Structure formats: structure tokens, C-alpha cells
Structure 1
């Protein structure tokens, strides 16, 4: 007997699930619904439809041609989709991957393929909803060009939102809050009539930074929530007073503050707790470094504004060197305990990135005080975050090799060139276009040398 394809098994599973749901609806209907009440309710609904049709015709006459007011805001839809996905990702993965699909993935059926089928199914359903509801209103209320633009962006924004929601759901809350924060900033800039292409570029860089680190999906939490959402049928629950809930609370506040069971046993979290204790013991160095770096960026440029070209690279170098120096004490932190190199570095770098956030805020504040445009500030912040993201990781990698007494070679001129471009970008933002070329050019990574 030939093995069935993944699609055929998936289709069979969906058919069985819908049959069970229909059976439950029928049982609920036969148990609590009075046929006489259904008959009169149907007549009332038909009467309301006639009234609604007349009201809709009057409303369309009033709104005819006034859709041009909202036509210019079509380009805001992708930004709105990102914000919506980030907010809903706290409590909903978006794609209904349940325990049934999870059990199929243990058979010769790809889990990734099943997720793709669920994604396409939900996207096709959304396309049908858009065609039935927003599309007719768009053609009535707007010009033909504006309606096409709105509907096209709806078709593009929904899969973007669904994909981002699925990816963010399993990430820590700090990532979700970061997406919400930066998306809100880009949305404010949009209403100040800043170039949309630059805002889309900023969102793209944010996605790149978020998803460069591949993390395993939290399948247990995904399945718990999806099982409850799929089988918590409102009509059945209303009449039977039985509601299906996930075994644990997964609200927004719970997602942020409540620790998952077993989380402290993971290697990543264990190293994070060790580094947290070490950073608390080194608080005097941290509380001297971060305020000093912030003062370098804030105080001097307030007296001589062009000095920001020099104080920004200096602040970045000082912060990176102090962060690298603290990491160099890794042997004393772990003593004789063996540790996994990559997890050790990753857990420390996450704290180092968080520590740099006040520096970013200070740079944004001083540029606002100096009267710089939002477009220039946005480009500068993107370049700074990109450079720090890559260069700080390189510094920590160097320190790890120094601790392990390994030889390595690094092209220092690339780091110097990146710092010069960041400083020149304060003078004119076009210099910042060279930062990605320096950061991502082949050969940027550290290369170990063989000991001859």
C-alpha cells in the first residue's frame, strides 16, 4: 500500500474535524433550540435585511465619492498589519496548528508542510472575505485607482501580519514589545509625511535583526492555545455553558510576567541567570559606564553641535570595550563548571544589547533638541543599531577566543570605517548607506589562524 501524500492526509483530517463540529452543533440544536422560535427568528432576520438594504442604499448615496479622504492612507496598511500582529502575538499564534497536526508530524509528514497548508488555507479564506466585503465598498466609495491600491495592499498586508504573528508568538516578550515600539514610531513618522520607502526599509531592517537568530518554536504552547480556540465553539458553549480553555492562562500580562514551567531548566535561561548575578555584582562598573556614555552624547553636543560626529563613535567604542571587558571574566563567572560556548555568548550579548538601549534614547533626544529631521534621525538610528548588533557580537567572539587562547585575525579597518561612516552620517545621512556594505561585506567574520 502506497503512503498517502501529506495534502491528502491533511484534507482527510480537516474533513473529520468539520464533521465532528457539525455533529456537535446538531446535537446542541436538537437539545436546546425550539423550532417555533427559530421560525419567528428567521422572519425577523429577513425583515431586518430589507430594512438594512434600504439603509445601506441611503448611506452609500451620502458617502459616494467621500472615500477619497481615506485613499491616501492606503500605504499605512502594512505598518498597521505589523502593529496588529505584534499585539495579538502575545495570546494567539494565528495559524491553527493543533495537536492533531502535531501527531501527524511524527509520521512521514513534514511539520513545515502542514504549517504551510494551514497558512494558505487561512490566507485564501481571508481573500474571499476581502472580495465579498471591502472590495465592493472600495469601488463605491473611492476612485478606481485608489480602490485597486487599497485592495492590493490588503492582499499583501494580511500574509505579512499572519507570518509575523506566527514568528513572534514563540519569541520572548522583549521582541514583541520592540516591534510594537518601533512600528509605533514609524507610524508616527508616516503621519508626518515622511517618505514611505524609508519607513518600509526601517521595518525590513527590524525584521532582519529579529529573525537572524533562529529559535525553536514553542510547540507545546502553540498546541494548548490552538486546541482551545478550535474546539471552543461559541454557540455550543453558550447553550451548554461549557467553555474549553487552555490548561494554563496565556493572557498578555501572563505572557509577559509569568515564567513558563520548566523554563529555568533550559541552558539559555540558566546562563542568563548566571550572567544576571554577575552583572549585579558588577553594578558599580555598569552604573559608571552607561551614564558616562550617555553624558558623552548629550552634554558636549549641546555646547558644540558638530561634536556629535566624534562623540557618537567614541561612545560606541567605550561601551563595546567595557562590555567586552566584563565578558572576559567568563572563567571566574563559571569557575570550573563546563559551559556551552554559543549559549554562553548569546545570553550575555542579549544583556549587552539591552544595556545599549539608553544610549539610543540619548542619541534620539539630542538630535531632537538640535532640530534634526525625523528622516535623518530614523536613518541614523537604523545604522547605529545595525552596526552595534554586528560589532558587539564580534567583540564578544574575540574575547571568547582570547579566553580560550585561540589565535584569530580581524580586519580592524572595517570597524574603523564603520565608525567613521556613523560619525559622517551625523553630518549627512547619505554616508550611512555605506554602513551595511562595511558590516555585511564577505570576510567580516573572525577567522581563526592555524598555529604554525
Structure 2
């Protein structure tokens, strides 16, 4: 049996070789992009201008109200962040194992070296990097900003603690099926909504304690049921997907193999019962390939909608308007890109049928985003709350359909003008942002619902330019 010192020496040999290889690649990129003499002069000029601004421009005094605002709201939102942070790691578990266990480490485990020790070395290395990163960031923020050092340290400590305690749960969640991850994600979202509705600040602390205690159950089974092929493939991709190299060489790093989270499902092996099932399958395959982008956008909007509930009322209504605009734009972009990917690019298009089956999938994400909106109106319930809720949903549906119809016209290369409807959708989105001042605006939802109803009736002709 080899000693820990021998295992560590072998692991360090791999890490040193990887660092040397990356260093060589970055040197080649720097030689192509930068001229040494020009870079020195530019750095000196930028440093001189920055120092001059700070010494003579009184920037710190001008930004003092901004930093005071940040410090005041950051103090209020600390416990909120404590309860929201686990959602970030659950979302990441769809695409990232928590630690990068590459092919090199896996092959080292095939030799007389314990895989458990190698995994532990990676975790220790991650911890040291976190301490260096957050320590440097804390020192810089304390030096440059007037924000209190205790607040900065408490926030960065919170991030560091969660980065550490969520490593093991994220590692195990990465191995689970999609519905297991989705179930845990929904559970934590619901717990946050309960915390918001009850205005309880203890939910975050309870979550942290539960996560720490969960290690007692997880650690004995840490290496059971691990799909090492998938782990190493994803890890290799993240390790060698160097953004600078990709931009300079104008090439994309691609995974060697695409794993579908539903590839072993018995339902997928059944024959297609109807034409609709074919379209649903095509959307399923496409959306799974773009799941990372979708979860990032939805996660960002969801976090914004949860966080804005603790600010002024007008800020939350602006957040709802931004969420409607961003999510409807995402839906339209994904719909358009679908026809430039894989086999659909060379197949005939029934755009109406694609749109009809697409709505089911986008409604799932939209329903998730409306959970914090529901909780907000429950907390601020009055006689206008039901009308405002219907108004927000109606504006979202109208904006979604306008963006989709515009995309369909572009794809079908047909003549069509939607300037009036585009302008109306923009006006309605703005009305959402200011509807807290005039709740009577929400009565417009009745007109929007009737307009959508008649457009649906007029769409039976399946014309690609038809309006839904």
C-alpha cells in the first residue's frame, strides 16, 4: 500500500504538467495578441490615468452615496442570500460535478493509487484556491471601497463556506437523473418562497445545518454509482476550454460526447403515437442540449425576482417587466436557432406545429418564474392583487406571442409587419413597471385576453405568418 506522501507526489506531478502545458499555450496566445513594448506603454498610461483620477477627481467622495446604499441593503439581504445560495449549486449540478476529476486523475486511480485520496487532494486544492481568491478579494475591497470590513468579510466568508459545504452534495447530484435534480431544485425554491411569505430569516440557517448534516449520510456512499466516464469528460471540457484561446483562434471547444439525461428512459424507446409527439421529441432533444444556457437565464431572473421582494415596491415591478422582456426574448432566440441545428436544418418546417409544441416547454420555465411573483402578490394582497397578477401573466403571453410571430415571419421569409404589435408589447411591458402607481391599469388584461383568444381562433389555417 502506497503512502499518502507518494500519492500526493504523483498527483502533484500531474498538476505541474497540466500547469506547464497551459502556460505554454497562453504564452503562444500572448505572443500573437500582444506586443511587449506597446503593452508596457499602455499599462503605464492606464495606471497613470487611474491614479490621477483617484488623487485629483475625488471619485471616492462622489461614489460615497452609492457605497452607502450598497452597504445598507447588503446588511438587510444577508440572511436572504444565505437561503438562496444553495439553489445556485443545485442548478450547477445539471452541468458541473462540483470538482474537476479529469481523465488524468482517473488514470492515476487505475494505477496503485487510491482514487479516494486523489479526490481528497482535489478538494483540498479547491479549498486553498478559495482561501486565496476570497482573501485577495476581501483585501482589495477593504482597501478600495469605504464599505465596512466586517460586512465584506462576512459576505465573502458566506460564499467560501457554501463553496465548500456544497461540494459533496453537488458531486452526488451530478450523478442523479434529471428529475431528482429538478425535485431538489423545486424543494429549495419552495422553501425560499415560504421564507419570503412568512418573512422568516431562519430558513437559511436551517438549510445550512441540514446540508452540513447531510454529509453524514452522503460521505459513506461518496463513490458509489459514479459515472466516471461522464465525470471525466465534463471535467476535461472545463479544464481545457480556455476562453482566451477560443476567442483568439476563433474555434469552439466541444465535448467529445453528448450525454442525454433521458438516454436510458424506456419512454423514449416507444414508437411515435402522433405527429405531435415527433415535434415534442425534437424540442426535447434541442432544449436538453441548451439546458445550461436556459438554466442560467432562468436562474438569474428567478434570483432577481426573489431578491427584489426585499426592496421598494417600484423596484419589484421593474424587475417583473425586465423578467418578461428577457424571458420572451430567450424563447424567441431559442426558437429561431432551432432551425439551424442538427437534422431540423434540412427538414421541411411546419412552423405552426413547431410553435404549438414549443409553448409547452416554454410554459414550464415561465411557470417557474411566476412562483416568486405569486408569493409577492400573496404577501401584498389587496383588492387589486388578482387583477394585477392576471395583467402580468397576460402581458407575458402577449409579448411571448409577438416575439414568436416575428421570428416565424423571418424564418418563413414572408412579408409581414408587426410594428404595431411590437410597439404595443413594449408599451404593455412598461405599464407593468409602473402599474403599482395606477392599479387600474391592470384592467387592460381583459382586453389582452380577448385579443389572444381571437388570434388563436384565426390561426386555424396554419399559415406560418399567422398570429397566435
Q: TM (normalized to structure 2)?
A: 0.48
Rg larger for: 1
* TM-score using structure 1 length: 0.49
